[in-house]
A and B are shown apart, each in its own frame.
Chain A
Amino acid sequence: MKRLSLFAPLISVFIGLALSLLLVVALGESPILVMKVLANGAVGSATSFGYSLFYATPLIFTGLSVWWSLRAGLFNIGAEGQMTVGGAAMAVVGIVLSSLPSWLAWPLALLAGFGAGAVWGYIVAWFKIRRGTHELLTSILLNFVSYGVAGVLFLHVFRNPSVQTPETLEVRERVLVARDERDWWLKPVECVFRFCSALRIRGRRGDAEIGFGLRTRWVGSAPEFARRTGVATSRQTMMALVISGGLAGLAGASMILGYAHKAREGFSSGAGFVGIAVALLGGRRAIGVLLAALLFGALQKGALDLDLDTEKISRDLAVVIQALVVIAVATKSWLEAKRWNS
């Protein structure tokens, strides 16, 4: 089982990639050239690699968010909205805080992001536990609520009146997580590592075979067993969704506190939904999710160059590859299930 957990995703990636390259062949472009362009664009230079990490960072958070809910047998597909409110909260804290020292300011902004996402997760959990509403429904519908809330904050309360794009004022310098303009390409790298170090600790704890993480997994894979063993399932459901929401809430941090220094309308640009794919590909372990996010981030960056360096293939190939990889993952679980039943 353990051996399979990293091996199987690799095969899915391989199959997905192979199928996409067949498509490339069908369109009359050289797959070797396409692979070369993708690889070079993603990791060809320090700059490219930095951008790949930059694109991967939000996916790490949204991926872990969905992954955490899946462990509890819940499917939180509202990471996009949780990311949006989390980002809004971070931007607001970043704009409003003016007299706190830096070491206190940026953790506080991150906390606000986590908190806002967690509240969104809590709403989903509340409906699930008290009203029996399926989390798929509430989590995706709450996305629209979050767009509205963020829209009001970005465009009316904190709008930067001097530019045309719908964006907020700049956040104060002391809440930025990376400030050094000289090593600008290190910035994304730095963001990733600052957040991941904090996150890995949480991930490991979740993975521990006793205590909280295990109970979360029981609730997911054997709810009846968990209930009879005396685990408070509704409490576990709530905690799982709150943590899942909080993780997604942090996803905008690298964008807002590290790169743009402000929140733009629509800054999440689909990272919440790609996070679902990342979690599915990542499989059972947190490290798998991390690797899946890095892969998808690299694809996103690499694909930008396809527009330039190939005649017939556009950057949309990245989406095709991601989709085929996810289908390969799904087919695998379907085969597995079929085997268990027979």
Chain B
Amino acid sequence: MAALNFRILAQGIVVGATAISIFSGCTKASDSNGGESPAAKTSGLTIGLVLDKGGKDDRSFNTAAVVGSSQAAKEFGLTIKDVESPDDTAFEPALRTFAERGLPLVIAIGFGQADALKKVAPQFPNTKFAIVDAVVEGPNVASLMFEEQEGSFLVGYLAGLATKTNAVGFVGGMEVALIRRFLMAYEAGAKAANPKVKVLNNFVGITASAWANPTRGKELALSQINQGADVIFHAAGASGMGVFDAAEEKKVYAIGVDSNQNAIKPGRVLTSMLKRVDTAVYAVIAEVVKGEFKPGLRSFGLKDKGIDYAVDSNNEAVIAPYKSKLEEVRAQIISGKIVAPDYYKSKK
């Protein structure tokens, strides 16, 4: 046994020594690069971004936040530091670490961080915080909310115009109030365009995994198509990819969400309802840079293009017949002539 013991020890020492000699060689190199903390070297401010589960490559929600912040970084000469959160327990230490370092602004992406922010924000009165998709009270917190019902009404209206079968579908991700809000206004929009239309709806699930189940998303879409739906709107995160597959397979139309998803299946995506998290993130950073930060609830809607629908070369042809009518409805929503029903308000 003793011999083995020494052998392991010897191996360990050899590996360790090799590693250490490499380390020392390498540090010098990195010192000359000055790669240690670029934050300290740039003259501008550093902004902290705590991303939701899913990470910055989700091609939707988190990606939009990163896009908005990097645009601001370029324009104002800032440094952006972002942290991805593996699970719920990591939000609080991430927010706290940023705040402890004295960053002027820390942005929390996603309603899952509301609890963590409620704990952290009061302890750092000199740091400004912003949260997307949730309301957190506090003199140093801005809550960035979106009028999802306006955009959903608009794409619902489009679906109602475009359907030939008088049936449209909706595939939601996790069954939460936020997605109910999408559904309610979508249904109202479709009915406003076409009173005879039937709106089918399904949710992928009731847990967080419902955002990442494209197989189930496709199944639900196919079943709606079997029941006659020929336009399907999804608000289901990555599960929505299955909806696009089903639309392509059965030659019906899909409507994307959050980011511009028109390019996923060119010609089969009528449009995408844009929820410009990038615009919101950019706006709040700009305010902090200019010293005009205002705490409290901020809503983004059709009016300020925080909510929009996407038109590009991928869907120009398919959306053309309805475009003028849509613009008319958009103007009416902005002017208040049409009020899209809001699930949040109807519940109270």
List the interface of chain A (C-beta within 8 A of B).
1, 3-4, 7-8, 11, 14-15, 18-19, 21-22, 25, 29-33, 41, 47, 51, 54-55, 151, 155, 163-166, 184, 255, 259-260, 264-267, 269-270, 301, 304-305, 307-309, 311, 314-315, 332, 335-336, 339
Listed by A's residue number, 14 A-B pairs whose Cβ atoms lie within 8 Å are: A18-B16, A18-B19, A30-B23, A30-B36, A31-B22, A51-B93, A164-B111, A166-B206, A184-B119, A260-B115, A304-B94, A308-B97, A309-B37, A315-B84
Q: How large is the interface on B (under 10, 10 to 19, 20 to 34, 35 or more residues)?
A: 35 or more
> Separation in Å of the A59 CB from the closest CB of chain B?
12
B208 interface residue per 8 A CB criterion: yes
Closest to A52 in B: B93
Nearest-CB residue, chain B, relative to A147: B207
- Name the distance in Å between A51's Cβ and chain B's nearest Cβ: 5
Report which B residues bind A (CB closer than 8 A). 1, 4-5, 8-9, 11-12, 15-16, 18-19, 22-23, 26-27, 29-30, 35-38, 81-84, 86-90, 93-94, 96-98, 100, 111-112, 114-115, 119, 134, 174, 176-178, 206-208
Q: Are A307 and B208 in contact (CB under 8 A)?
A: no
A250 to chain B, nearest CB (A): 17
Q: Nearest residue in B to A264 (C-beta to C-beta)?
A: B88
- Residue in B4, B84, B89, B98 whose beta carbon sits within 8 Å of that of A55 in the complex: B89
Min CB–CB distance A63 → chain B (angstroms): 17
A85 to chain B, nearest CB (A): 16
| CA gap between A51 and B116 in the complex, in Å | 14
Closest chain-B Cβ to A322's Cβ sits at a distance in Å of: 13
Of chain A, the residue at the smallest CB distance from B3 is A339
Closest residue of chain A to B179 (Cβ to Cβ) is A164
Closest residue of chain B to A20, judged by CB? B19
Residues of A contacting B115 with CB < 8 Å?
Answer: 165, 260
Shortest A96–chain B CB gap in Å is 22
Given A8-B8, A30-B23, also A166-B174 (CB < 8 A):
yes
Residue of A with least CB distance to B84:
A307
7 closest Cβ pairs, A-B complex: A269-B87, A30-B30, A18-B19, A307-B83, A164-B176, A31-B23, A11-B12
When distances are taken between beta carbons in the complex, the residues of chain A under 8 Å from B100 are: 47
Q: Within the assembled complex, what's the spacing in Å between the Cα atoms of A336 and B187?
A: 67
A301-B207 contact, Cβ under 8 Å, with A32-B27, A266-B87: no
Instruction: Contact check, B206 vs A155: say whether CB atoms are below 8 A apart.
Output: yes
A31 to B25, CA, bound (A): 10
Whether A31 lies near B26 (C-beta < 8 A) is yes
Cα A270 to Cα B86 with chains together (Å): 11
Determine the residue in chain B with the shortest Cβ distance to A11.
Answer: B12
A14 to B9, CA, bound (A): 10
Report B-chain residues with C-beta under 8 Å of the C-beta of A18: 12, 15-16, 18-19
Q: How far is the CA of A308 from the CA of B93 in the complex (A)?
A: 12
Residue from B5, B12, B98 in contact with A14 in the complex, judged by beta carbons closer than 8 Å? B12
Whether the Cβ atoms of B19 and A22 lie closer than 8 Å is: yes
Which chain A residues border B93 with CB–CB below 8 Å?
Answer: 51, 301, 304
CA–CA, A164 to B131, complex, Å? Answer: 14
Could you tell me the distance between the alpha carbons of A206 and B18 in the complex, rounded to whole angstroms? 41
B81, A265: Cβ atoms closer than 8 Å: no
Look across to chain B and name the residue whose beta carbon is closest to the beta carbon of A262.
B115
Instruction: Report the separation of the CA atoms of residues A224 and B206 in the bound assembly, to the nearest whole angstrom.
Output: 49
- B12 contact from A15, A269, A301, Cβ within 8 A: A15
Which chain B residue lies CB-closest to A152? B206
A23, B210: Cα distance in complex, Å: 35
Min CB–CB distance A19 → chain B (angstroms) = 7
Give A301 to B97 CA distance when docked, in angstroms.
Answer: 11
Bound-state CA distance A8–B178 (Å) is: 52
Establish whether residues A15 and B15, one from each chain, have CB atoms under 8 Å apart when the complex forms.
yes
CA distance A267 to B81 in the complex (A): 27
The minimal Cβ–Cβ distance linking B30 to chain A, given in whole angstroms, is 4
* Bound Cα distance from A25 to B176, whole angstroms: 45
Q: Are B111 and A165 in contact (CB under 8 A)?
A: yes
B4–A315 touching, CB < 8 Å: no
Pairwise interchain contact A304-B97, C-beta atoms closer than 8 A: yes
Instruction: List, in ascending order, chain B residues with CB within 8 A of A270's CB.
Output: 87
A301 proximity list for chain B (CB < 8 A)? 93
Neighbour of A165 across the interface among B23, B36, B112, B119, CB < 8 A: B112
Other than the known A7-B5, A14-B12, what 5 A-B pairs have Cβ atoms closer than 8 Å? Answer: A4-B1, A164-B134, A184-B119, A267-B88, A305-B97
Q: Which residues of chain A are near B87, meaning CB under 8 Å?
A: 266, 269-270
Partner of A47 from B27, B84, B96, B111 at Cβ < 8 Å: B96
Which residue of the partner chain, among B1, B18, B119, B207, contacts A266 with CB atoms under 8 Å? Answer: B207
Inter-chain contact A335/B4, CB cutoff 8 Å:
yes
Q: Are B90 and A14 in contact (CB under 8 A)?
A: no
Picked from B5, B27, B119, the residue with its CB within 8 Å of the CB of A33 is B27
Cβ-defined contact, B111 with A311, below 8 A: no
Bound Cα distance A260, B88 (Å): 10
Q: Which residues of A contact B177 (CB under 8 A)?
A: 164
Minimum Cβ distance to chain A for residue B66 (Å)? 13
Q: Is the CB of A304 within 8 A of B9?
A: no
Among A54, A264, A308, the residue within 8 A (CB) of B81 is A308
Query: B208's contact among A14, A29, A265, by CB below 8 Å, is which?
Result: A265
Shortest CB-to-CB span from B115 to chain A, Å, is 7
CB proximity of A28 to chain B, nearest CB, Å:
8
Provide the bound-state CA to CA distance between A305 and B90, in Å: 11
* Other-chain contact of B178, A4, A31, A55, A164 (Cβ < 8 Å): A164
Contact assessment for A311 and B207 in the assembled complex, using a CB-CB cutoff below 8 Å = no
- CA–CA, A166 to B205, complex, Å? 11
Least CB separation from A155: chain B residue? B206
Q: Given the complex, which residues of B lie within 8 Å of A308, measured CB to CB?
A: 81, 83, 97-98
B89 contacts A166, C-beta separation under 8 Å: no
CB distance from B238 to the nearest CB of A (A): 16
Which residues of A are found within 8 Å of B112, using beta-carbon distances?
165
A16 vs B82: C-alpha distance when bound (angstroms): 28
Complex partner residue of B8 from A11, A155, A264, CB under 8 angstroms: A11
- Beta-carbon nearest neighbor of A318 in chain B: B86
A151's partner among B82, B119, B206 (CB-CB below 8 A) is B206
Knowing A265-B208, A332-B8 are in contact, say whether A33-B36 is a contact too (CB < 8 A). Answer: yes
